[in-house]
Amino acid sequence: MSEISRIRKSDGVIVPEDVQDQLLLTTLSDDELNAKMLEPMMKTGPLYWGVLAGLAAVFFWGLYAWAYQIRWGFGVAGINRPVYWGMYISTFVFWVGISHAGTMISAVLRIFKADWRRPITRGAEAMTAFALLMAGLYPMIHVGRLWKVYWMVPYPNNRYLWPNFQSPLMWDMLAITTYLVGSSLYLYLALLPDLGMARDNSKGWRYKLYRAMALGWRGTESGWHKLEKSLGIFAIVIIPIFLSVHSIVSWDFAVTSQPRWNSTILPIFFIIGAVFSGLSALATILVLVRWGMNLDFYIRKEHLDNVGKLIFVAGISWIYVWFAGLIVEWYSNMPVVIELLHDEWYGELAPLFYAMMVLNIVPIFFLAFKKVRRNPLALLILTLMVNVGMYIERFLIVAGNLMRNYMPFNWGDYRPTWVSISIVTMTFAGFILFYMIFTRVIPYVPVWEIKQGRLRFSTRQVGRVEVITITQVD
């Protein structure tokens, strides 16, 4: 309590910092709240356009690399036996993992009525949608002969071909499509009222765009009731989808007989890892968007603090699940599994392994401290470390574990080529590019949810201190 700055009102009542800073106690008018969201969207300086141009250049270079790969064959990506899945599948798993945080923040916290989620849900949902778009590219990249992808669609044909529904890759395609469709529709539905607000406060091409997207939204009482009902149902339905998607992705590995893959703990390991990396990516994005768009009025230290707490919990869980998987593998004493473990601890994968451990575990220690979580720069650095650490983790699981198998004559190494690096970088650039465009075209903060949250929040005096009171209004 002594570390928290307090102000003392003239009547002697103490107002703690968390009450002073509470977004949902703001007394700004609705017009001012609208303006605080719409004005940053209109402001784009040379830095914004320069970054956008650079990202577009990287993205188009990646498309060129993809065309090169289609022309010269999959070998130019460095894929060869025994490492049949390299950077592409590692990055695929990474992107699917990133997408999980959006649903966590948006759906899970909506069900629990955690009001601090309000200003960050849309950013989280957008992160989910764009991450899934990038993830969805990888099966098409990895199939090599892209023009044959339509063979996965079940329709009667004269080749007598039919999809193998017992293949985990088929489950992957369907699960990711379902999650992408669900997340996008969830994002769009919750956006309707703010599109109406933007429509009423804009001109020119923006007015036309928002008018088309708002679908004639007015805000009638029955309209609100139906929208809220649909968002509640969506939140409940999308949670099992998000749990199942990464389970299905993990089964791509777990249903094989590859050492260290064939494990029942893999779905849980993947989901926990996804939540850990996804929340870290979300925190990184929030700090950058807050800085880039001057949204510190909406995205406050309390929100960064709460996301930091979730990352801390996810990180601790990740350590536990990682160890739970390790102890079983180590205890089996199977030669090839021990060989893989020694590769990670003492062999050629050791630099990556120890980098992963440092980058994942050190931030968890620091995130235990409130001062660190409330410091945007510290949070940015720590979550970037986790993002890199978790990417390395996926690489070690996918490519690292393929280097050894039950046939020693079939052991080998993997070296990514300029083609695979370019294509992977393309998806990172594409994600940031789409996200940056999104922040300037769509209201980033759900202003209607902030205004609704104000209905619930008030203060009252307890002893000498003013405390926040949250009312149950629904």
Partner 1 sequence: MDKTINLMGLFDDDVTTAAALDDIYDLGVEDDQITVISSIPYPEQALGREHVWIRLPIIVLVGAAIGFATGFFLSSITPRLYPINVSGHPITGGPPAAIITYIFTMLFAVIAIFIGVLWEMDVPGFEKKFYDKRITSGKLAVLLENLPMNQEKAAVSAMEKNGGQDIRRPEKMSL
Residues that bind partner 1 (CB under 8 A): 29-31, 34, 154, 160-162, 164-167, 170-171, 174-175, 177-178, 181-182, 185-186, 188-189, 192-193, 196-197, 199-201, 211, 214-230, 233-234, 237-238, 240-241, 244, 248, 448, 451-452, 455, 473-474
CA distance 142 to 200: 45
Q: Which is nearer to partner 1, 199 or 290 (CB)?
A: 199
Look up tokens 């949608």; give the residue: 129
Computed from CA positions of residues 173, 174, 178, 179, in that sequence, does the dihedral angle turn out positive or negative? negative
Contact (CB, 8 A) for 20 and 12: no
Please return the burial class of 468, using the count of CB atoms within 10 Å of its CB with bins 0-12, 13-18 and 19+: middle
> Least distance in Å: CB of 194 to partner 1?
10
The single-letter DSSP state of residue 107 is: I
Q: Which is nearer to partner 1, 368 or 455 (CB)?
A: 455
Q: Which is nearer to partner 1, 164 or 333 (CB)?
A: 164
Q: Which residues contact 426 (CB under 8 A, 6 or more apart)?
A: 58, 59, 61, 62, 63, 65, 66
> Least distance in Å: CB of 406 to partner 1?
17
> Least distance in Å: CB of 402 to partner 1?
20
Q: Which is nearer to partner 1, 154 or 412 (CB)?
A: 154
Rg (CA), the chain: 24
> Least distance in Å: CB of 341 to partner 1?
29
Strands of the sheet containing 457-462, edge to edge, are 6-8, 14-16, 465-470, 457-462
> Least distance in Å: CB of 200 to partner 1?
5
Look up tokens 């395609």; give the residue: 173
Q: Which is nearer to partner 1, 3 or 474 (CB)?
A: 474
> Least distance in Å: CB of 322 to partner 1?
26
- Structure tokens, 295: 């949204």
Q: Which is nearer to partner 1, 135 or 214 (CB)?
A: 214
Contact (CB, 8 A) for 220 and 198: no
Q: Which is nearer to partner 1, 370 or 451 (CB)?
A: 451
Q: Which is nearer to partner 1, 252 or 343 (CB)?
A: 252
Contact (CB, 8 A) for 73 and 437: no
> Least distance in Å: CB of 346 to partner 1?
36
- Whether omega for the bond prior to residue 82 falls within 30 degrees of 0, making it cis, is yes
> Least distance in Å: CB of 327 to partner 1?
27
Q: Which is nearer to partner 1, 199 or 373 (CB)?
A: 199
Q: Which is nearer to partner 1, 360 or 452 (CB)?
A: 452
Rounded (10°) CA dihedral 180, 186, 191, 192: 120
> Least distance in Å: CB of 226 to partner 1?
5
Q: Which is nearer to partner 1, 366 or 444 (CB)?
A: 444
- Structure tokens, 7: 């102000």
> Least distance in Å: CB of 324 to partner 1?
23
Burial letters for 427-464: b for 16+ Cβ neighbours within 10 Å, e otherwise?
bbbbbbbbbbebbeebbbbbbbbbbbbbebbeeeeeee
Look up tokens 């993809």; give the residue: 66
Q: Which long-range contacts (CB under 8 A, 24 or more apart) does 250-259 make?
A: 251/168, 251/171, 252/89, 252/168, 252/169, 252/172, 253/397, 253/398, 255/168, 257/406, 258/401, 258/402, 258/405, 259/334, 259/336, 259/337, 259/340, 259/401, 259/404, 259/405, 259/406
Q: Phi, psi (5° rounding) for residue 14?
A: -90, 130
> Least distance in Å: CB of 445 to partner 1?
14
Q: Which residues contact 181 (CB under 8 A, 6 or more apart)?
A: none
